[in-house]
Structure 1
Amino acid sequence: MSDIPDYTCNVSLRLSKVLDEIGVNERMVIKTRRLGLMNDTIQTIAQQFTDEDVNVYTIGSRVEGTTTIGLNSDEDILCTLTWHKVIQDWSEWEPGKQNLLMIQDDTVSPGYCLLQILRNDVPLPEQNVYKQSWYRDSKGRVLLKNSIVNPADDVESVRHGPAQSSDEIPGFSAYDIVFAMTCQQWPLQARHWINQQGESPWPTLDMRQYCKGTECFVVGVGSKNSVNEELEWRISTSLAERFLIFNFNITQIRCYVLMKMILKTFITTQCPDSISSYMCKTVMFHCISSTYNNTWNEKTLLICLNYCLRVLYNCVQNNNCPHFIIPENNLMARRFTPVTKQVILDRLCYIISSNGNALLEIKCDQLGNRIQNTFLRLVKIVPEHVSCLMSGQLVKNVAFQVNELITALLEEMNKMNHIRLLLQTLYKYLMQLTHDMNQGHNKLACTTIAKFLSMHLGSALASINIQSERSVCRESIVLMTLGLNIDVASGKLKLASILYCTGDIERAEIILKNIKENYDLSVVESICQCYDFKKSKRKQAFNKLCYEANNEYALLQSITASCVRFLRCEINCCPKELQHEMFRSPQQDLPYRSDDDDWMNLAVVDSLPYIYFLQYKTYFHLRRHRDKQDAISNLAKCIVEEPDFGHRETALNLLGQCLEQENRIDAALRCYLLSLKIRGRNNAAKFHICRLVSSVLSRGFLEF
């Protein structure tokens, strides 16, 4: 590769420029990985708060930074289970645990293992078959079936191999969840790679040693070539492979992305379920390990791509693609029929021999058109545009993950009837988060969630104080202060709400004014994860700030606004107009609620309409008529114009009650009816309509 033709060099440079334009650049790769690892921490915290000692890992392209908007890759999530302890040596046996002995012998497919069930009282093999998931083989061993980790009992989920998959919902990414068990040590089949001393410059010895420290898993899927498919467990080195990709340079990442685009354009359309992106990743590993790092640069991108495609061609031709860490595991064993194989070979031969011209046919991310434009200079390239879009999505995903966790926690705590138990639970979570604050993304994620919980703990204490003394204790204010800056509005709105409820109208008005001044309507995105609904396009200014930021968690404080939530134990901290939302479901509506509708037992409102509502209430008490009218007009306007409210029906209910206070009965009734059009059941609007009609009829009767 030392002598690079001018044509190849020119095409490579233009191709690198186009990939930069569609978000495959160093800045976006770093940002994607940073936020992906933060999401791992958030999801792990979510699982551990539900009394499950589970670790969550995002694997695949969405954390590697090896996807684009056009590729639209699924989100791959690996969840470790703690039901059992997987050991490879009897010395690792632990009493009281369900120990599983990993068997890797000649009867097991390479890259797979059997799991023998051991007794939990003494280090001896289990002799009796107690459960359906246990099986006695011909040698008398009691083995664990891999179907035990099949989680696909959700009607919206299907099982693909070891994964539980969801269909894509508008505004959300499809995902695959793989449930796995952690090995106590790296399996014997994989240890040879760790200790391998070869001439290959990549991966380095230090990289191999780091991989040795990563967790290794077994996942519930057997080899399709095995007679014991339901008994075999696949050995997964996903975290080691993720680390290896984290050490790719930008040209290697671009080459991998191009391979996936080629796969999507030329092969999967004709031969679905033949070559996978994982095979492309494995080919990349082999190609990088057989070359020097300086081979991979912007000027040689096309040469490197053709080299990888030729290696893939050879793998298909020989029906052999060795797993990079466990080479005995052939990823292409019995993968294609002779007809399918010939089609794939023909397509790969066409692409390789085209010397880059085949790339012009790729419609994914308009790659072909963009390459042509670089030669014709028809369009001015704006490299930041797509990166801004991707950055906005990444940051908003983090905000969604945090809010989804907080919503789930609050829904569980809202079920607790005893206030002391609830306070103890909140305190326990805070202590757990404090303990988990180590460094890096762990500290950032834990700090953010701790702020949310501090705010609710302070608010719950304030509600008790208001009920008994009509004032708020110092401890409550201190806790509330810790959570004031969780985002641009919701924390401060809770404090303003408490001040309003205690009669401190002047201070409430000052806080509301400050919130409104910092709430930039052209930038701030509304965040709600109470339920799934289609989200609109993000604001351009929001995307731009996300792209420019290096500290996305700090950015969340100034450009996102979560919905404001009040538990029933916080009922004294919100105005009576909002309290009705805690009791939105009459008995006849309860059967129409799903398992995901526990948020309906809370009072929840989007931040922006709640700002204007509280302003209306404070200006009403302060007798500032013009400001009061501006507030009610702004409330009505934002309900109509802002696209991403999750609780628009609640905002309409609040607007209706304000209009009632203005004696605009017809307008109030229209608000309640519009609210019912949005959510026909489990809506406090029904109560307001009945109350309003009753009031009008009573007034008419009295006047009569």
Structure 2
Amino acid sequence: MFQAPDYTHTVSVRLSEVLADIGVDERIILRRRKTWMLVESMRYCAGILRNLHSKYYYLGSQTEGSTTLGLESDTDLLMCNNKCKIVQNWGEWQPGLTNLLMIQDETVPPGYCLLQHLRDDAPLPHHILCNGNFVRDKTGRILLSNTILSSSMVAEAYNLPGEYNGPAFTQPGQSGVYFDVDHVLALPCKTWPLQAQQWLNQQGVGQWPSDEMIKYFRNTGCFVVGAESKGSENEETEWRISTSLAERCLMFNLNITQIRCYVLMKMILKSHIKPYYEGTITSFMCKTVLFKLIANTNPNFWRETNLIVCLSLCLFALYDSVLNENCPHFIIPGNNLMAGHIAHESKPHILEILQDIINSKGKRLLQIKCDDLGARLQQKLNNLSLFKTSDIVSGDLLKLAAEGITDHIDFCLFCISNSSYDVAIQTLLKYIFELVTIFNQSEGMDKTACSLLAPRFCTTLGSILASLNIQQHNGISAEALTWVSLGLNTDVASSKLKLASMYYCIGDYHRTEIALRDIERRYDQNIVEPICFCYDFIHEARRRGFNEISDNHNEEALQYATASCVRFLPCEINCIPAELWYEMFRSTGEDHAFRGLLDNWMDWAVIDSLPYLYFLQYQTYRYLGRQDNKHRALSNLIRTIDQEPNLGHRETALNLLGQCMEQEDRLIDALHCYLLSLDLRGRNNSAKIHICRLLSAMVNHQAGTMF
């Protein structure tokens, strides 16, 4: 059946070229993996700095690199709580810990377990209910309830909008970002699940998984997730065993043809099955079918020129699984992933669709609209050249890395948001030294993550020291300047703007002007992309130059292609112009009720880099008496607010522009700026203060002229 016709070689090569054009090639796949593993490492480092008991893993198609822009795949964030120790035999019990015995008996199906509470002073079962997290079953065992890791805990803890899906909580992606995030809470088990022990000793035709991979699996262990099997009698106490890290390792060891098969299977699902039979066949089932085939075929079968035949074999295996309503989990074969998923009346229609696609020998691929695959393939077969989307994917990934840095820096800074100078300084020193320690003890992505996070803490530390210096003697110490200098090259502008702001606040306008001129020279507006991750706003398409730079460089491009918004904590207040102080007091008592847990940045002064550059230039040239330069800076500020599509804090820029207009004695224009700002953000906006202040001044001015 799978003897390749003469034309399949050509079609396979052209299809491979199409997939490469849309980002399914070795280079982009490795870049996806590297970026997501970097973000995972940054979250790991941030957790250590904040003394958290959890570890986080990014899983799924985005991390694996098995996706495209058109598939719009989400990503899974597995949140692993390390406070408990799960044991699979009594010999693993440890005193002083919350020990939980994994029970896999006849009361639970394969792939699931119960967690029995053990005493912390002896390897014996607990017989007393300690709290509401445990329940007693009909045999008298004290079991951990799976609701302790309810997905609602994530939403409630972070005040996030989203949807619940069993053990997962889906947080929609920010506007303009192409993926959602599924938060999944789990408990770790340091040892490999007993139900999968036999699998470790089995290798397929191609010696896959390899001995090295199997060694990794033995040392990786597994997770348990609070989810019961379909129709379970243990609804409250059953836990699903997850081998997510082993599955990620398997994906990382596929060749390009195998990954392309998986991507094509997902495109077929999206185009031909999900619109009519949602929830019947999942991408995980496709992945499982692929794993089984790889283990039982010769590695030479999976080559680029054989792609159509490889895909047909995958679809035939999927057809067989649907026919028998049996898709065994690759690692725990007793767990049938397809059980209860396919309704009796849907089954013949799904089989007919799959059979039709198999029999078409690739022709049905021409009907796939996802990523314009069908149209692209037709053009390739006609020898027409096509534009590639790899640079767009690269731009997405560099922006993701930049936003990851911002997110994790802010996560660590929130705890010192309202701290004294001493506490803030000591905390930042602790952060920096801990990152240096991790850097020296690590390799790979953890080392890279430390090198990206530490300089930004250095700049903040230097700015806080400078603020304290200015308060004490209106000067800046050499120590403060040294710390700031360690982070000057984190991006194009934000750290350098902090230095310029420090000079401005001590009245050293000549150094301020030099620093600002240097920033303006470096800020190529055809390339540099503003980065703001403070809240959800509509992101417009990025600059072509940014995408091109991203496609040709790694994370070093952050230094000259991104400009993060500039953040000042309250203890940095002496390093910012008085016009920006109001932003730290934007929230009235009523406004606080409309803030979420992730809105702590509203207690800071935060402004996009480019408008802050022009605002500082305006103020500097105003003091230097250079009128032409001052008006040019003001015009640039107006143009930026009006034309830059991806400003995250446009309302703050308008508030600064309004104060510039007041200084120009253009009071009506100033009022217009504040009203525009208020239209953008109706609450938690210092524009309210400016409007009240300006109206009061205008009324008093009129009253003064009358008398």
Task: State whether TM-score is above 0.5.
Answer: yes
Aligned to 2:55: 55
Aligned to 1:616: 618
CA contact (8 A) 1:639 1:648 kept: yes
1:50-89 to structure 2, matched below 5 A, reads: 50-89=50-89
Aligned to 1:207: 213
Deviation at 1:393, TM superposition (A): 0.8
Deviation at 1:199, TM superposition (A): 4.5
1:592-611 to structure 2, matched below 5 A, reads: 592-611=594-613
Q: Distance in 2 between matches of 1:586 and 1:231?
A: 46
Deviation at 1:5, TM superposition (A): 2.6
Aligned to 2:410: 407
1:218 aligns to what SS in structure 2?
strand
Q: Structure 1 228/337 Cα, relative in aligned 2: closer, same or farther at 3 Å?
A: same
Deviation at 1:266, TM superposition (A): 1.6
- Are 2:441 and 1:435 equivalent residues in the alignment? no
List alignment gaps of at least 5 residues for structure 2.
none
Aligned to 1:700: 702
Deviation at 1:182, TM superposition (A): 0.8
From 640, 643, 648, the counterpart of 1:641: 643
1:341-374 C-alpha deviation (Å, 9 max, x unpaired)? 2222111111111111111111111111111112
Q: Distance in 1 between matches of 2:704 and 2:350?
A: 85
1:30-429 to structure 2, matched below 5 A, reads: 30-153=30-153, 154=155, 156-172=161-177, 173-196=179-202, 199-377=205-383, 379-382=384-387, 385-416=388-419, 418-429=420-431
Deviation at 1:699, TM superposition (A): 3.2
Q: Distance in 2 between matches of 1:265 and 1:464?
A: 61
Of 401-410 and 78-87, more deviation after overlay is shown by 401-410
Deviation at 1:158, TM superposition (A): 2.8
Q: Structure 1 194/471 Cα, relative in aligned 2: closer, same or farther at 3 Å?
A: same
From 495, 502, 505, the counterpart of 2:499: 495
Deviation at 1:141, TM superposition (A): 1.4
1:224 aligns to what SS in structure 2?
coil
- Alignment RMSD (CA, Å): 1.8
Aligned to 2:480: 476
Aligned to 1:546: 550
Deviation at 1:26, TM superposition (A): 1.1
1:311-369 C-alpha deviation (Å, 9 max, x unpaired)? 11111212221111111212122332322222221111111111111111111111111
Deviation at 1:407, TM superposition (A): 2.5
2:151 aligns to what SS in structure 1?
coil
Deviation at 1:431, TM superposition (A): 2.2
Deviation at 1:50, TM superposition (A): 3.9
From 450, 466, 469, the counterpart of 1:465: 469
- Are 2:519 and 1:528 equivalent residues in the alignment? no
Q: Distance in 1 between matches of 2:593 and 2:236?
A: 39
Deviation at 1:225, TM superposition (A): 4.3
Of 169-178 and 540-549, more deviation after overlay is shown by 169-178
Q: Distance in 2 between matches of 1:159 and 1:182?
A: 22
CA contact (8 A) 1:655 1:668 kept: yes
Deviation at 1:588, TM superposition (A): 4.2
The AA in structure 1 aligned to 2:626 is: R
CA contact (8 A) 1:225 1:334 kept: no
Q: Distance in 2 between matches of 1:114 and 1:221?
A: 11
Q: Structure 1 198/23 Cα, relative in aligned 2: closer, same or farther at 3 Å?
A: closer
Q: Structure 1 590/175 Cα, relative in aligned 2: closer, same or farther at 3 Å?
A: closer
From 499, 504, 507, the counterpart of 2:508: 504
CA contact (8 A) 1:489 1:519 kept: yes
List alignment gaps of at least 5 residues for structure 1.
none
Q: Distance in 2 between matches of 1:471 and 1:169?
A: 42
Deviation at 1:468, TM superposition (A): 0.8
1:197-255 C-alpha deviation (Å, 9 max, x unpaired)? 56542122222112223241111112114322432211111111111111111111111
CA contact (8 A) 1:152 1:158 kept: no
Aligned to 2:658: 656
2:593 aligns to what SS in structure 1?
helix
CA contact (8 A) 1:411 1:602 kept: no
1:280 aligns to what SS in structure 2?
helix
Q: Structure 1 168/398 Cα, relative in aligned 2: closer, same or farther at 3 Å?
A: closer
CA contact (8 A) 2:488 2:495 kept: yes
1:607-636 C-alpha deviation (Å, 9 max, x unpaired)? 001101111111112221111111111011
1:550-572 C-alpha deviation (Å, 9 max, x unpaired)? x22x1111111111111111110
Aligned to 1:691: 693
Q: Structure 1 215/450 Cα, relative in aligned 2: closer, same or farther at 3 Å?
A: farther
Of 209-218 and 166-175, more deviation after overlay is shown by 166-175
1:338 aligns to what SS in structure 2?
coil
Deviation at 1:490, TM superposition (A): 0.3
1:217 aligns to what SS in structure 2?
strand
Deviation at 1:696, TM superposition (A): 3.0
Q: Distance in 1 between matches of 2:344 and 2:697?
A: 79
Aligned to 1:580: 582
1:305 aligns to what SS in structure 2?
helix
Q: Structure 1 447/325 Cα, relative in aligned 2: closer, same or farther at 3 Å?
A: same
Deviation at 1:46, TM superposition (A): 3.6
Q: Structure 1 613/90 Cα, relative in aligned 2: closer, same or farther at 3 Å?
A: same
1:42-75 C-alpha deviation (Å, 9 max, x unpaired)? 2223444443222111111001111111110111
CA contact (8 A) 1:88 1:103 kept: yes
1:249-276 C-alpha deviation (Å, 9 max, x unpaired)? 1111111100111111122222111111
The AA in structure 2 aligned to 1:446 is: C
**Which 4+ runs in 1 deviate beyond 4 A?**
197-200
CA contact (8 A) 1:84 1:181 kept: yes
Question: What's the TM-score once normalised by structure 1's chain length?
Answer: 0.96
CA contact (8 A) 2:203 2:295 kept: no
Q: How many residues align?
A: 698
Deviation at 1:177, TM superposition (A): 1.2
Aligned to 1:632: 634
Aligned to 1:6: 6
CA contact (8 A) 1:134 1:142 kept: yes
Q: Structure 1 588/339 Cα, relative in aligned 2: closer, same or farther at 3 Å?
A: closer
Q: Distance in 1 between matches of 2:30 and 2:130?
A: 49
1:55 aligns to what SS in structure 2?
strand
2:637 aligns to what SS in structure 1?
helix
The alignment-based identity, stated in percent, is 49
Q: Distance in 1 between matches of 2:651 and 2:272?
A: 48
1:664-683 C-alpha deviation (Å, 9 max, x unpaired)? 22222221222222122322
CA contact (8 A) 1:201 1:292 kept: no
Q: Structure 1 167/414 Cα, relative in aligned 2: closer, same or farther at 3 Å?
A: closer
1:563-615 C-alpha deviation (Å, 9 max, x unpaired)? 11111111100111111211122344333333332211111111001101111
1:152-209 C-alpha deviation (Å, 9 max, x unpaired)? 2537233212211124553232121111111121111122222335654212222211
Q: Distance in 2 between matches of 1:653 and 1:148?
A: 46
1:109 aligns to what SS in structure 2?
coil
1:530 aligns to what SS in structure 2?
coil
